[in-house]
Structures are given as C-alpha cells and as structure tokens.
Amino acid sequence: MFYVFSSPAAIAEHLSQQLLEHIRNQPATTLGLATGSTMEPVYAALLKQIAQDPIDLSQLTTYNLDEYIGLPASHPQSYNHYMHHHLFDALGLKAAQTHLPNGLCTDCDHECHDYSAAIAQAGGLDFQLLGVGSNGHIGFNEPGTAFDSRTHVVELSETTRIDNGRFFDSMDEVPTHAITLGIRDILDAKEIVLVATGEHKAATMDLLYRTPADPQMPASALKLHANVRIYLDPAAASRLPEEALYYVD
C-alpha cells in the first residue's frame, strides 16, 4: 500500500506517466482530481509530459473532490481557480469536460445530490487522485464522517481552517464550510492514488498505518478498497516501519 519515492518530483513524474498511460489505454477516462500544494508538482509534470508527447484529451472528463462554500470561481483561493490555473487552461479542456462542486450554491443539498448522481451517470470515477489533510481528511471529509457518505456540505474543522489559512490573508477570510465528495463516492472509484509528501505528513501517515478502517481517521477508509496506492516521499514515510514500505526508486 505504501510506496516510497526519492522525492516529490519523482512521485510527480511517475504518477503523471501513470495517468497518461491510463488515458492512452482508455481515452474516455473519468478522472477524480484533487487540489492542495501536494498536487501542484503532479499537475506541472503532467503538463510537461503532454508538451513533449501530445495526447488526445477530447474524451476525458474530470470531477474535482471539493470546493469552498462562499468563494466565487474567480477567487484566487477557490479550487475552481486553482484547477484552471494549474491544469485546465493549459490543457485546453472544454468547460463541459471539467466539473467542480458549486461553492456559490443556493440549494446546496440539491447540488450535492446532483454531483454524486452525475458521477454515477458518467460510469463512476476510473481513477481518483487524493491528497490528505494533517487530520487525515480526504477531500474535505473530516474525522467522524460516515464511510457511506455521498457528496455533502461540511463544516470545516478548526485544524483544517488553520492548515489552509496559510493561503489566505487572514483567518477571517478562510471559509467555514465546503462541499466534498463523500467517502462512499471516493471508494466507488476503480483505482485510487493518495499522495503525501513532507515531514508535516509523517504523523498522519503513521496514524493511517496504525488505524484499522475507522471514521475518526477518514483516510483509513481506503483500507476497504482493493486498488489503492499511497505514494510517499522519504519525509512523509519517515515514521513508518520498514516492513510496511515498498521502495520504487
């Protein structure tokens, strides 16, 4: 389950190749995408490889994991803005190919229901990319979220608001709520790769390793899935026992 690479750049290189191979084999792939600083090198590597070896993305469909409630798509910290900035615009994907929860929803429960339904209608997610919060959240599924949850509105924990506050000018500006794909939606993906890099994720990975599937540690839900890989750099893997690790390069 735990794969160790020499650096975040080595993870990005490997994972982007893996994604491109998936799309070459199955052009109508439905990809589940994540945001966060961990994903930035992955998207940069993907763009670099596509520039060197172009690929037809006209049948690709993407669904993002989550979005803050209350931020317009134009807000620099909205995940919509992040995705356009780091990936979508450079790939030239059409608006109809990419999907994010609508953070400016008025009937949010309805929107959440429709988001999960649209993914199911598209045949489910073929490949889900995940980062992880320091408290073990995946998407914005905070500790305590039921494993059978579908897309829903969450109140962000104080830990998450503080973690993500580094991207905002002040804590007052950090949204209090978000929409996230549910854990059941994530587990329905056919293949999942979670990436964690840096010393600040080492304790989280240690907790994940030691916790049997338990809603208090949302990422532990992945232990219920048959096709999950966790890609770590040496810093994030530093607290795990050697016997749990598979070294890639």
Q: Which residues form the catalytic set?
A: 66, 135, 137, 142
| Binding span for ligand GLP by CB under 6 A among 31-39, 43-51, 103-111, 238-246 | 31-39
175 binds ligand GLP (CB under 6 A): no
- Residue 136 near ligand GLP by CB under 6 A: no
Q: Which of 8, 41, 103, 133: binder of ligand GLP (CB under 6 A)? A: 133
Least distance in Å: CB of 52 to ligand GLP?
Answer: 26
Q: Where are the alpha helices (DSSP H) in the chain?
A: 8-25, 40-52, 79-83, 89-91, 108-121, 158-164, 183-187, 202-210
Site for ligand GLP (CB under 6 A): which residue of 69, 132, 154, 230?
132
Smallest distance from ligand GLP to CB 248, Å: 20
Q: How many residues does the chain have?
A: 249
Spatial strand order in the sheet of 152-155: 66-68, 177-180, 152-155
Q: Which residue has the tokens 């293949």?
A: 191
Distance, in Å, from the CA atom of 197 to the CA atom of 80, rounded to the nearest integer, reads 23
Give the one residue of 135, 160, 204, 220 binding ligand GLP; rule: CB under 6 A. Answer: 160
At residue 226, φ and ψ (nearest 5 deg) are: -85, -15
Residue linked to tokens 């580094």: 166
**Binding residue for ligand GLP, selected from 35, 62, 145, 204, defined by CB under 6 A:** 35
Q: In angstroms, what is the minimal distance from the CB of 137 to ligand GLP?
A: 6
Q: What is the rounded distance in angstroms from the CA atom of residue 201 to the CA atom of residue 199?
A: 5
Q: Is 38 in the site for ligand GLP (CB under 6 A)?
A: yes
66 in contact with ligand GLP (CB under 6 A):
yes
Which residue in this structure is represented by tokens 């994540």?
34
Of the residues 30, 116, 164, 220, which one makes contact with ligand GLP according to CB under 6 A: 164
Smallest distance, ligand GLP to C-beta of residue 98, A: 16
Residues β-bridged to residue 67: 179
Two tokens at 66? Answer: 């989550």
Q: Which is nearer to ligand GLP, 24 or 200 (CB)?
A: 200
